Chains A and B, each alone.
Chain A
Amino acid sequence: MSTMSSKQRQHLAQQGTWRRLPLIASPGLRWGLVLALAVYLVLAFASVEVNWARVAEGASRGMNFLSAFMQPDFVSRWDDILAGLLESLTMTVTSTVLGIALAVPVGLGAARNIAPLPIYVICRSIIAVSRTFQEVIIAILFVVMFGFGPFAGMITLAFATIGFMAKLLAEDIEDLDWRQVEAVRATGAGWWQTLNHAVQPQVMPRLIGLSMYRLDINFRESAVIGIVGAGGIGATLNTSISRYEYDTSAAILLMIIAIVLLSEYSSSHVRRWTQ
């Protein structure tokens, strides 16, 4: 029925019978995909083990948590919260600056149209490793190497920033307007001069926008790598949650949300200013 010719469909439409064309023309493939999806869902749900007794027990705790959001407690652990937030913020700033400073050369090297092949391969593998592993995993390794504290956290976030920024920068450079580059080259400019006069002006506004975005991400991530001992507000948050002090956790979460909002608001201004 579905693989009928367009003449047949026209004839049917003339009689007033018309059905939407299916997304996938071949009925075998279409039903095969539906079947595969159904089988997957059944298997996946079957493998989710839920301890309903435990869930029921936790329900009251869930309500506690929600009500804690209505009356967060900023006071009783204020010193811990403040120290944690300050550490998170300093980690965010230093890691973003370091990360971007390192990401620019890696990004240049990972752009196929301006970098020679060996450098391209090296830079692309740095990016792949940095992007594949979640920040927390990297933090575990760096904590083992550099010891507990914000230094390991800073290195972690800087490393993650390299992968993120370098990939996007390389993609930007790869689809920049090549005519401008040729025009600058035609004046007899060298490699560095071409970079400065043809590449930089084209990628700069987006680079600044992405840096602001990454600053935001780094702050959010700095709130979790504390869980594995890499400094920041995460450790405070972890402690408060495991002690069921939901009113303190709520206070911390609200402050994180507020800071993210603030940074998003200011970064939209910075972006408008640099356009």
Chain B
Amino acid sequence: MPVSTAQHGQPQWRLRTTRAQWLQYLAWLAGVSLFLLCWKLISDNTMWVFVEDAGRQGADLISRMTPPEWSYASQLWKPMWDTLNIATLGTALGIMLAFPVAFLAARNTSPHPLVRSAALVIIVSSRSINSLIWAMLLVTILGPGVLAGIIAIALRSIGFVGKLLYEAIEEIHPTPVEAISATGASRLQVMSYGVLPQVMPAFAGISVYRWDINIRESTVLGLVGAGGIGLQLNASINTLAWDHVSVIFLMIFATVLVSEWVSAKVRHAII
């Protein structure tokens, strides 16, 4: 923290030096300009008449959505069951695939730097691409249905679980691993005795967390034809049956809240 002497001899204290202060001003200026520029681009592409009309549209939407047509709920059990299956089976498949990838990607367990890079590429690609995009691709390849949804969820989960798990592996205590190696254990034995017990709680927590996220993601996969409650949502929107849409929304809301609660409980129990 700089202390300088002013002209009349009194020492002065400032939080930053003059140079740092100017740099900070410049950074703010750059940031604000970037924001304004982006805003301008968006504003150019926007039909402001529609935006001004939004309040009325919103009110209209709400009046169409209420009251929800409760009887429609009885048709939603099967899609909801499909949605749960997509999330659960997809998560299971995803973590099975992510497990070896994470061990290959962690610096301290990877057999070779080249293997490590390959594993990191898998993780990054999987993470960058949203499950909805995976689903779009898989629907054109496998045809519409739950299977495409399961695989889409699995492909997206590899990156998420893989990344968090390999970070957990890199953070383990090295001494037990050293001790197990010193007994003359083989590579796989060192993994199963020295590494695995240390990362197991993290692994379980990450998996449950991802399952919770996947429930949310699998509710929309139907929009591109990959099964689950999204199919009904898409159909209702296309036929402008907004009183059905509100039932679906409430259903999703309840399911996600329950899954979040379950996931929080399980993670709490593990840690």
Contacts and interface: CB of A to CB of B under 8 A. Distances in A.
Interface of A: 40, 44-45, 47-51, 54-55, 57-59, 61-62, 65, 86-87, 89-91, 93-94, 97, 128-129, 132-134, 136-137, 140-141, 144-147, 149-151, 154, 220-221, 223-224, 227-228, 231, 237-238, 241-242, 244, 249, 253, 256-257, 260-261, 264
Contacts of B50: 146-147
A237 B133 contact: yes
B133 A132 contact: no
Contacts of A149: 45-47
Contact of B224 (A58, A144, A227): A227
Given A47-B82, A94-B38, A257-B125, A54 B133 contact: no
B15 interface: no
Interface string B27-46: 00000001101110111011
A134 B53 CA distance: 25
Given A47-B81, A94-B38, A224 B145 contact: no
A46 to B, nearest CB: 10
Contacts of A51: 143, 145
Contacts of A59: 141
Contacts of A154: 42
Nearest to B92: A41
Main secondary structure of the interface of A (DSSP, over half): helix
Residue from B50, B146, B249 having most chain A Cβ neighbours under 10 A: B50
Contacts of B130: 220-221, 223-224
A76 to B, nearest CB: 19
Given A133-B252, A147-B47, A220-B130, A241 B136 contact: yes
B210 interface: no
12 contacts: A50-B145, A51-B145, A54-B143, A55-B142, A91-B38, A94-B38, A128-B257, A133-B249, A136-B223, A146-B54, A147-B53, A260-B128
Given A223-B130, A242-B140, A256-B129, A48 B223 contact: no
A146 to B, nearest CB: 5
A275 B125 CA distance: 28
Given A58-B141, A147-B50, A256-B128, A87 B256 contact: no
Interface stretch (B102-110, B111-119, B212-220): B212-220
Nearest to B56: A145
A94 B39 CA distance: 6
Contacts of A256: 128-129
A202 B58 CA distance: 40
B267 interface: no
Contacts of A242: 136, 140
B161 interface: no
